[in-house]
Amino acid sequence: QGRAAQARGRSPARQRCGLPPSPAGAAPSRHPQGMAPKKTAPKKAAPKTYDFSGLEVGMRVQAESDGTYFAAEVVAVSTSKSRARAPVKVSYKGYEGYDEWLGGDRIRSKALKVVVPEKKTEDRPAREAPHLIYFPLAGRGEVIRLIAAVGGVKITESSELPEGCTKDMYLSPGSIPLLKHGDLRMSQSTAIENYVATLAPKFRRLSPKQRAVDQQFACIKEEILGNCAKTIFVTMKADKGQAKKEFTELFDKWLPLLETRVPAEGFVHGGKLPTVADLCVLNITTGYMPFGAAVKHAGYDFGKYPKVMALSERTAKAESVAAFLASSTTAAANPMGCELGAGARQAAQGAAGGQLTRGVRDVRGW
């Protein structure tokens, strides 16, 4: 009976399951209980965004209704948020009184545009090393170099612009330092310092608060530097006595504040490595141009601030800083051929390991 049932297309298994007989000669189903394979639903296309600004009242369009497109006329175009899905009201030609609000997916017109979304591009760091353009002296370039050395960022440097570049490409009216990194071109020393610090892998764990403090020290350094430079290049030419007074007042304004803020031990953030704040203190106390030149002409003594000087020395002894100072000629570079004052010489010798004989004396600007 089983063989007979199979011959007639009704196997016992199909009989028990109550399934209809299979077609003659058909192969047995490979799916459980003869069920058809499940069809995978096609993925829905992303909804299109339309620009309705080209549609005007009275314009002829093709409007869809029940799968068929009819001639229609635009009656209104709404900009209300409540009509965002169907902002165009049309009237079907030949069907008086039958008006309908439609979305862009039901309208055909050359005046209706589909908005193509911009492809998101990741802001990937450039493969090439950041390139610094600055004179071979301390000035506004030294902290940038120190940040790169301590933070683990390899940079290249030159005193001339890359071929084909002009300073206005860097948003600079003429001053330096400048930085080029891939398609990024920028000016302003504090901005460059901050950018290089964000690239630094050894500074990646700094909190927003710590980075803010670093920038605070960087801005203080920049204010002292700018005022020193102004007095050197302007006031000293007219009145050296007044210049000495300005230098003294400037250092008396800022150094006592730094003395109360810097730690008696370790670094500003209490970490194992110095950060931008510590490097700015090192720069102020050891960079000859313009800090050392100002100290020399004012006869100022940084030794009055033992915590500041101790932090400077600890920073200079940090392994990465010491390695930088051992090969650097920029910290003590003396473009004006001046001798260091006693306070500046003592500070720079302690930080630079006596490397004061190295210098650049043929630079006519900074």
Q: What is the pLDDT of residue 81?
A: 87
Listed as ranges, residues in the chain with pLDDT below 50 are: 1, 4-17, 19, 22-27, 29, 31, 338-366
Q: CB-based burial of residue 238 (10 Å sphere; 0-12 exposed, 13-18 middle, 19+ buried)?
A: exposed
Q: What is the pLDDT of residue 212?
A: 97
Q: What is the pLDDT of residue 360?
A: 31
Comparing CA positions, the residue from 194, 354, 230 lying closest to residue 286 is: 354
Q: What is the pLDDT of residue 95?
A: 87
> Cα separation of 333 and 335, whole Å?
6
**C-alpha dist (Å) from residue 41 to 20, 36, 38, 44, 132:** 28, 15, 9, 9, 56
Predicted model pTM: 0.61
Residue 303's contacts (CB-CB under 8 Å, 6 or more residues apart) are: 309, 343, 346
Q: What is the pLDDT of residue 336?
A: 55
Please state whether beta strands 49-51 and 113-115 pair in parallel, antiparallel, or not at all (unpaired). Answer: antiparallel
Q: What is the pLDDT of residue 3?
A: 53
**C-alpha dist (Å) from residue 171 to 176, 184, 186, 253, 294:** 11, 11, 6, 32, 30
